[in-house]
Amino acid sequence: MPDSTTDRFDTLVAPHLRMLLRVAYRLVRNTSDAQDLVQDTCIAACENPAGIGATEHPVRWLLNVLNRRFVDRTRRQKRASFVGLEEADAATQLVCGQPGPEELLSRSDAERALIQAYLKLEDAQRTLLVLRAEGYDLTEIELITGLPKEVLRARLHRARRSLARHMDEQTGATPAALRIGSKT
């Protein structure tokens, strides 16, 4: 096992850095927040040799930590108090978790609606959809998140239903045809 922190980074984390950044970006849909998430994950991995060094699957460990950091970050943002613009320091950089104008401009209307609908989902649903979009099946997601497969299946199903409903709200379509079990 590598001894120093930088050695652990080079050996265990750096090969998966691009994948981590992609998953983080899928989760938060924002480049700055994604970089922060990945950096937090890297620091946790390199300063905790008993964690990533002891596991046989560093990718799962990293994704687990990334998911936890994402949930913590989202909860912290929900608890954050709002400050009026008059009271805010002019030097303070106001950071928004939503996609920036450039990111929105480069997308089509359908993609924008999909992203807006996705951002309305709960944290756990977003995590499951992202891991599934990354190609992990339920068995691997179970190992990453530690949740039972039946729970994951139900949550994934609800996530798809919620995403479709929010998409219909974005585009103005009627959600009647998307209800569970409805067949026309």
Partner 1 sequence: MNCSDIAETLDNRNVEELGTSERRDIEAHLAACPTCARDWELHKAFSALTDMQEPAGFPADCRALIAAGADRSQRVRSRLVLIGVFAAVAAAAAMLTATLWQQERIPLAAVQDTVAPVSVSGGAMAQIAVPAGQKPTVTEPCSGGCGNTLERTCEVHCTCAASELQRNGCSHAGERRGNRCGQQSGHQAPESSRHQRAAVASGVEADRRRLCRNLPEPARRLRDQNQWRHGHARPGFFRWPVCLRTEARRTNAEGR
Contact positions vs partner 1 (CB under 8 A): 4-6, 9-10, 13-14, 17-18, 21-22, 25-26, 31, 34-35, 38-39, 42-43, 46-47, 103, 106-107, 110-111, 114-115, 118, 129, 132-133, 135, 137-139, 153, 156-157, 160, 163-164, 167, 177-184
CB of 3 vs partner 1, minimal distance in Å: 11
CB of 83 vs partner 1, minimal distance in Å: 28
Our CB check for partner 1 shows the closer of 43 and 71 to be 43
Write out the two tokens for 117. 């609908």
CB of 88 vs partner 1, minimal distance in Å: 27
Our CB check for partner 1 shows the closer of 84 and 101 to be 101
What is the rounded distance in angstroms from the CA atom of residue 106 to the CA atom of residue 109? 10
C-alpha to C-alpha distances, 171 to 48, 95, 132, 136, 164, nearest whole angstrom: 46, 28, 24, 29, 10
- Output the CA torsion 63→69→71→76 (10° steps): -170
Question: Is the Cβ–Cβ distance between 171 and 144 less than 8 Å?
Answer: no
Our CB check for partner 1 shows the closer of 57 and 107 to be 107
Angle at 45 between CA 149 and CA 94, to 5 degrees: 90
CB of 91 vs partner 1, minimal distance in Å: 23
Amino acid at position 27, single letter: L
Amino acid at position 175, single letter: P
Our CB check for partner 1 shows the closer of 66 and 163 to be 163
